Amino acid sequence: MSPDALACHALLNCLIREVSAPEDQAWEDDGHLVIRLARSAVMLRARLRRPSAGIGPRPAGEVQVLEEAAWQEIGWRRLAELIAAELTLATGMRTPNSPPRSAMATPPSARSCGTARNRGKEVKKVKEVALIRGWEA
């Protein structure tokens, strides 16, 4: 799985736990996790690794947004922008660390990973930055 997809999953997990699930805006549908951003009227989805066993869904693969009646793949930057817009509408405040201004300087997918050991370090770095930014699940 790419660092971009891992970052997307961390963002989705946080969104589900903190916003969508408490508002009943996340559900499973035909092997996908579908998430509705209620205030901004955006629909997201990701394939499910497995059905939920009560501890929450496990997304797998790329995240998609419904645009013009078709599902389009998006990366972590676009996902972060959509979530930031939803949170701004929910709270009436924009957080100072919201994307795109304070987002990571280089997207994970653009970095050179090299060996498997370095890829593991890269994933850890993405998670650390996401945690610092408040995006970690």
Tokens 């996790």, located at residue:
33
Task: Report domain extents, the chain.
Answer: 3-133
DSSP assignment letter at 23: T
pLDDT digits (tens, 9 = 90+) for 79-103: 999 999 998 998 888 766 554 444 4
**Does the reported pTM lie above 0.95?**
no
Q: Mean pLDDT throughout 104-128?
A: 50
Coil/strand/helix, residue 74: strand
Q: How far apart are CA 22 and CA 15, in angstroms?
A: 10
pLDDT the model gives residue 110: 45
Q: How far apart are CA 136 and CA 11, in angstroms?
A: 6
pLDDT digits (tens, 9 = 90+) for 46-77: 988 866 666 667 777 789 999 999 999 999 99
Residues with Cβ < 8 Å from 132, sequence gap 6 or more? none
